[in-house]
Structure 1
Amino acid sequence: MVARHPVTHRSRRYLLRDPDGDEMVARLAGSQGWETVVDIPAKRFGSEPGRVSWEMYPGIFLTCVRDRKLHTSYLLVTSRITDGLGSYETWITASGLSFFTDADLIRAVEGSNNPKEKCRALVRAGIGAPLNPDNRYSRVFIESVNDASPDVRKSAIKAIGYTEWPPFQELLDAISQQDPDGSVRSLAKRMSAAFDEAEVGDE
């Protein structure tokens, strides 16, 4: 019998308007007296994001991720003991920090002028998407998996992977069979397998 990993509950991810805003987050967390439990610096060169986590309350963690490749920093709350994260998530929205809105993230995808810009905007939108399926995001992701550029299609798949929305599983399976580009098919297949492994959609 395969052992299941403990379920980690999370809030949605909040993307900071200032990609270097992680320093402000650290100061705010310090002012609360929260203990730092993880501190992995972002690498100046390379794609590995940095990550800092503070324990807000026993078993409740605030994490700030800084991704230099995407020029993005974001916050989220996680816990393995409860899915009732609303009151802790409220701290994020009341912190005085400035975050991208849903409209901002979607507009960035729709207003992209070239494939490279659109790729980045898609992944950022996937990271910042709400926990539950949202038609505004679904529309731009579905349009993008039909883009002429294989790179854009792959970025749309990555965005879908970040959302972890169960309705996308069927789309991933279709892409893994039908996309004309082998690397796109392969990524869709791996993402679908990741959904299975994470038991996305299972109660």
Structure 2
Amino acid sequence: MLHAHDAEPVAEWFAAEHDWDLVARDTTDPDRGVEYEAVWVTEGPVTFHFREDHVLNEGYVYLAGRDTARVARHEADLTASLDIWSRQALLSGVARHDGGPERGRAILRAGLGAPQEFDPEFYDLITRAMRADEPVMRAIGMRACAYSPVAEYRPVLEGIARNDDEPENRDLARATLRAFDEFEVGS
């Protein structure tokens, strides 16, 4: 995730510095769950993506491709060149807020910036939100886990889907589990 408030020009600058060609630009359609995205092709079978999350209204970048060595090389350059949220900043950002909207945003940001594989610190932070007393915080926790889905979230989601006091949260848990199923997360 990029720290910049206007993150797209930062991503465009990074792609231009590497002489990468823009190959796609999709507009936002939150009603269909489509985020704004721009994609550049690097040398070889790796693409560089910029997306703007429509819930947080914050931009993030990522690399995609099967050439893991090339992805790792570009990732090292990306993390050295761009002002991105560090792991520690994402985790400590939640601790700085006792409650309210800023805590919710920090949890969502942590979910978006979490590794795509199981990480016990991010898991603990997000599942604490999913088990919170406040219904809105439970919903935020479920949205955060959907950003970086790992199988370990399934039992918590299943419990919410069966037992949450709020019908909206039960529905959100079921929808999240369906998305996990679709992408074969922990199935």
Q: Name the TM tier (shorter chain).
A: 0.7 to 0.9
The answer for the alignment partner of 2:39 in structure 1 is: 53
Cα distance, 1:64–1:22 mapped onto 2, change above 3 Å: same
The answer for the alignment partner of 2:167 in structure 1 is: 182
Amino acid at match of 2:129: S
Q: Does 1:99 align with 2:61?
A: no
Q: Give the whole-Å Cα distance in 2 for the aligned partners of 1:83 and 1:200.
A: 21
- CA shift, 1:162, in A, is 1.1
- Equivalent pair of 1:48/1:67 in contact (CA under 8 Å): no
The answer for the alignment partner of 1:112 in structure 2 is: 97
The answer for the alignment partner of 1:134 in structure 2 is: 119
The answer for the alignment partner of 2:2 in structure 1 is: 16
- Point out which structure has higher relative CO (alpha carbons under 8 A, 6+ apart): 1
The answer for the alignment partner of 1:74 in structure 2 is: 60
Cα distance, 1:170–1:59 mapped onto 2, change above 3 Å: same
- CA shift, 1:32, in A, is 1.6
Q: Does 1:144 align with 2:129?
A: yes
- CA shift, 1:58, in A, is 3.5
Q: Give the whole-Å Cα distance in 1 for the aligned partners of 2:77 and 2:18.
A: 11
Q: Does 1:64 align with 2:50?
A: yes
Q: Deviations over 1:7-59 (max 9, x none)?
A: xxxxxxxx11113132022022112211101123568xxx9632111001233
Q: Does 1:121 align with 2:106?
A: yes
Q: Percent identity?
A: 23
Q: Give the whole-Å Cα distance in 1 for the aligned partners of 2:9 and 2:28.
A: 12
Gaps of 5+ in 2: none
- Equivalent pair of 2:90/2:109 in contact (CA under 8 Å): yes
Q: Does 1:170 align with 2:155?
A: yes
Q: Give the whole-Å Cα distance in 1 for the aligned partners of 2:28 and 2:158.
A: 34
- CA shift, 1:159, in A, is 0.8
Count how many residue pairs are aligned between Structure 1 and Structure 2: 183
The answer for the alignment partner of 1:38 in structure 2 is: 24
Q: Give the whole-Å Cα distance in 2 for the aligned partners of 1:183 and 1:198.
A: 23
The answer for the alignment partner of 1:5 in structure 2 is: none
Q: Does 1:200 align with 2:185?
A: yes
SS at match of 1:27: helix
- CA shift, 1:139, in A, is 1.3
Amino acid at match of 1:18: A
Q: Give the whole-Å Cα distance in 2 for the aligned partners of 1:68 and 1:180.
A: 27
* Alignment RMSD (CA, Å): 2.1
- Equivalent pair of 1:42/1:67 in contact (CA under 8 Å): no
TM-score, scaled relative to structure 2? 0.87
SS at match of 1:167: helix
- CA shift, 1:144, in A, is 0.8
- CA shift, 1:190, in A, is 0.8
